[in-house]
């Protein structure tokens, strides 16, 4: 039981050291991720379209 109390006390102390992000930081990170994912998706769609067209031209 003593180990559990020590573990709980140490966990509580560590939680006080955590710096949680503010709303603006979360919004900024969300927008950054959204933009990067969108750009990569568009790039992959472009590559897919080019490869599909080139493969269709070779087959026909």
pLDDT tens digits, residue range 2-45? 899 999 999 999 999 999 999 999 999 999 999 999 999 999 99
Contact 29, 21 (CB under 8 A): yes
Sequence-distant contacts of 20-23: CB under 8 A, at least 24 apart: none
Domain that holds residue 1: 1-59
Give me the pLDDT at residue 49, please: 97
Give the CA dihedral 52, 54, 57, 60, nearest 10 degrees: -50
Give me the pLDDT at residue 60, please: 80
Backbone region of residue 4 per phi and psi (left: phi > 0; alpha: psi in -120 to 50; beta: other values): alpha
Give me the pLDDT at residue 44, please: 98
Give me the pLDDT at residue 1, please: 85
Give mean pLDDT, residues 50-58.
94
Structure tokens at 44: 């992959």
pTM for this prediction: 0.65
Number of structural domains the chain divides into:
1
Q: Please tell me the distance from the alpha carbon of residue 5 to that of residue 35, in angstroms, as a whole number.
A: 46
């Amino acid at each position: 039981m003593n180990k559990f109390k020590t573990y709980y006390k140490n966990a509580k102390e560590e939680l006080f050291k955590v710096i949680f992000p503010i709303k603006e930081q979360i919004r900024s990170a969300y927008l950054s991720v959204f933009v990067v994912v969108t750009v990569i998706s568009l790039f992959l769609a472009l590559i897919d379209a080019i490869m599909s067209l080139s493969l269709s031209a070779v087959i026909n």
